[in-house]
Structure 1
Amino acid sequence: MLKRLGEMAMALAEETYEAAMSAEDPQERERLKACFHRLSRSVRQTVALEARLERMRHRQVLETERRLDEVRQARVKRRRAQVDASLTRLIWTEAERCDYGDLVVELTKILNEEALSEDFLDGPVEDLVARIKADLGFVDDDESPSPPPPGEGACETAEGPLVPARRSSG
């Protein structure tokens, strides 16, 4: 509607300009020039208002996108914290002591990669934990292989083998 009003005012201003230029009576010419001035001011204000409204719409779109991004980042941060806490507990209780640091570093790498994917927030957090758990090499109790013979599978240090930190369930 504003655009149409601007077009009509512009057309009228053009007609008024032509009439003013062709007027022979000086009083009529001055009257038409004043009318043209008012019309051209109206056209300028209409154009300025259209530009302002467009800027406001653009700002509103940017603000909405920014808010959505903030909400997504907060959700990613919460999900990362949930997954990290769950898997750090698992590493602490189930991993060999000598593997703990490497597993925590690997967990951080995997979480950094996963957090960047579009589907990081899709599905239950438990599915994500299970997938990363498998990526880290942990298996469920019903899938676990038989324990290694005594003396095998323990981490070696200068003082001798470390006792495995795995706790049996059940």
Structure 2
Amino acid sequence: MKNNDIHSLIKANFRLAKVLVVDDNDDHWLLIKQAMQQCLPEVIPVRAATPEQAIILLNEWRYQEWEIPKLILLDLYLPDNKDGWALLEQIKQMPAPLNQIRIVMLSSSEAASDILKAYKLGVSSYLIKPNKFSDWLTYFRELRTYWWETVSLPPTNYSF
């Protein structure tokens, strides 16, 4: 692939890029937001502290292509894992293009059953939350490399 082609893909992935962060923990939100500002300065992080807030935002953005996030970072425990599972299932049942947004699940759970269930329900990635800020920075550098510089995301497809 030519260098210009690679840069075109990066620009396409970054164009009006927004990431919806669904996390009820204020401390984690601050770490995530700071790490994103350092590693993904072109991206606008938007927080939903509850599943209800996430659904409201997604419904508001439904018909506005420029508002739809390129990625959702979803905490499993909101504050209980049943809330995270329910939100994941709700998003996957929403009409296109909302149900096509890539979801990265973030969790403190290392349980194999949680990881397996997350992939069965359609997450694109499952990441165990780090404990140190430097590890958050590493995560977001890797997210940038993969989601914004490596993969080509499909265009938004609406269904009415």
- Report the TM-score when normalising by structure 1: 0.21
Higher-Rg structure is: 1
The answer to which structure has the higher helix fraction is 1
The answer to which structure has the higher strand fraction is 2
